[in-house]
Amino acid sequence: MKKIIIIMTAAIGLVLSSMAFSAQDPNVALRNALKAKDYRTAFNISSKHAKQGDAAGQYVLGQLYLNGQGVKKHPGIAHSWFKKAADQHHPLARYALGTLYATGTGTRKNPQLARQQFNLAAQKGVPDAMRSLGIMYEKGDGVPKNMGAAMSWYEKAANKGMLDVQMMLAERYLKGVGIKRNPGKAFAYATKASRSKIVDANYLLGLMYASGQGTKKNPQLAFRNMKIAADKGLPQAQHSLGAMYIQGLGTKKNPQMAFRLFNMAAKKNIPLAQHNLGLMYLQGQGTKKNPGMAFNWLNKAAQKGLANSQFLLGDLYVDGIGVKAKNHQLAMRWYRKAADQGLPMAEYSVGAMYANGFGVKRDVNQARNWFNRAAKKGLPRAKQALVQLNQMAKRK
């Protein structure tokens, strides 16, 4: 899943409001100019209203100066217009002013003033200000670090419909990142985000329905949500959907469809998909056997650090499958990489290479050491290898 990272909204990213003026003077001409991206006309109209003391006009004029739309970009002048509007209690102007203070755009950086303006805007229901306060409390920027306060503001922003915050909270509550794990809340926020057709939300819901985290297990709903995300091109979802077709989870088993989905995700650099695609080529599952292609995809996943792929690559070099010739030195190198990540079968294989002197000088002590590591993790063949080594030692 694409990871959701909440960052302080840059001043440049502030959005022009097409409903900036009061109900008494809706100013259709300005709204039409903004909608048509005729910023020069918008500048002329908002300038007139701003100079007459209209807070909404001042806010829009500040946005135009900030973004260089219809006028030469000038953050300093933008700051002055935002301040005039904020002094008249314009909520969006307060948020905009807070962002300038937070980022030091058009003025000196001042976290205390940023927090003050964010607070005032948040009290008037501006969701972006709520999110920004959450960020400040989480980072301890201008305020003492307070994760409880941060989460409180994040939740207020999420409940106001901020989709990125809903997804961030869903992921955090599911994984327990910075907060106590709460799969129920994770499921609730992912469900809210999915109503707005957020692809990542469907992916997360698919995982939760499949595992029964935060909700009852429901393979059919897991499949349905994962397919929505996969059909919209999310690589992680394509891989997970492929795994569902392999297992027959929420759908009938379909190796050909699994192969197709793994192929799509593998080409988008998803290591697990590359590993599974390699296995399918190796076993001839959902496609014709192709050892060369199997090696190619397993190698890609191994290069990205996937221990299981590194181990299998070692096997291919030992057996001479998908490669020009057997190569015990390269096999040992890949076994060792996987063993260093704690994979029991790889630890056993490193021990076997030392025991037989394949790709490395024969060393019974090293073999015993590696067999021990794997045996402590419950690998039966490692325990048997230790018995054999001990028997050999007694004969001597």
Rounded Cα gap, residues 368 and 161, in angstroms: 59
Rounded Cα gap, residues 136 and 143, in angstroms: 7
pLDDT tens digits for the chain (396 residues)? 333 333 333 333 343 443 344 433 447 888 888 899 999 999 999 999 999 999 999 999 999 999 999 999 999 999 999 999 999 999 999 999 999 999 999 999 999 999 999 999 999 999 999 999 999 999 999 899 999 999 999 999 999 999 999 999 999 999 998 889 999 999 999 999 999 989 999 999 999 999 999 999 999 999 999 999 999 999 999 999 999 999 999 999 999 999 999 999 999 999 999 999 999 999 999 999 999 999 999 999 999 999 999 999 999 999 999 999 999 999 999 999 999 999 999 999 999 999 999 999 999 999 999 999 999 999 999 999 999 988 877 766
pTM for this model (two decimals): 0.81
Which residues have a Cβ under 8 Å from the Cβ of 164 and sit 6 or more positions away? 4, 6
List the helix and strand counts (H, then E) for the chain. Answer: 21, 0
Return the pLDDT at 15: 39
Q: Roughly what angle, to the nearest 10 degrees, separates helices 271-283 and 235-247?
A: 40
- Residue 81: is it exposed, middle or buried by C-beta count within 10 angstroms (0-12/13-18/19+)? buried
Query: Domains in the chain, please, with CATH?
Result: 1-160 (1.25.40.10), 163-233 (1.25.40.10), 308-396 (1.25.40.10)
Rounded Cα gap, residues 298 and 310, in angstroms: 8
Given a contact cutoff of 8 angstroms between Cβ atoms, the answer to whether 295 and 316 are in contact is yes
**Phi-psi bin for 126: left (phi > 0), alpha (psi -120 to 50), beta?**
beta
Q: State which amino acid sits at residue 286.
A: G
**Phi-psi bin for 215: left (phi > 0), alpha (psi -120 to 50), beta?**
beta
Which residues have a Cβ under 8 Å from the Cβ of 286 and sit 6 or more positions away? 255, 256, 257, 258, 259, 260, 280
Structure tokens at 125: 């229901």
